[in-house]
Amino acid sequence: MTAVLTRLGGEWLGEEPGRAWAHGRFGAPYLRDSMLDVGVLVETLETATFWSNAERLYAGVKEALEAALGEPTMVLCHVSHVYETGCSLYFTVATPEGEDPLGRWQAAKAAASDAIVAAGATITHHHAVGTDHKPWLAAEIGPVGVGILRAVKAELDPTGILNPGVLIP
């Protein structure tokens, strides 16, 4: 991988950028709360796809977020994980909180989730499915995938006590 990146113009920056990231990585939730205190809604979402689909996915999600939140909205994105076959896109959004920040974010997250599924990407990457992503999971994994999840759940949790209603569509 190093040879490929070097050939494409990549340059080793040493360990300091990684150390700086590690030092500040847990500050984001506090920054988010401070931004809300001054009227700015800041949130994140993530997905993953194949390399051949990354640009399409990025464009679709960015467009969906901007359309749902209106102007002014800043949509940032970085590649958080890389794999031989694809990558994870991690979006950060900042916009005025407005009258109903939670409702605004839920609508924007739904629009972004629709765009993710429409692009053929995964509804989640490392943040799990849970109740936030459950409405889109069946569209991603199809009826066979849903059937498999239900069968596994029935076998491993026959009384339905483990996270009821959280994962299985």
Same domain membership, residue 80 and residue 103:
yes
Domain CATH number, residue 165 = 1.10.45.10
Distance CA 71, CA 90 (A): 21
Task: Give the pLDDT mean for 126-135.
Answer: 86
3-state DSSP call for residue 84? coil
pLDDT at 1: 67
**Burial class (CB within 10 angstroms; exposed 0-12, middle 13-18, buried 19+) of 16:** exposed
**Bigger pLDDT: 27 or 93?**
93
What is the model's pTM? 0.83
* Planar angle of CA 69, 166, 42, nearest 5 degrees: 25
Residues 43 and 76 in one domain: yes
112 and 148 assigned to the same domain: no
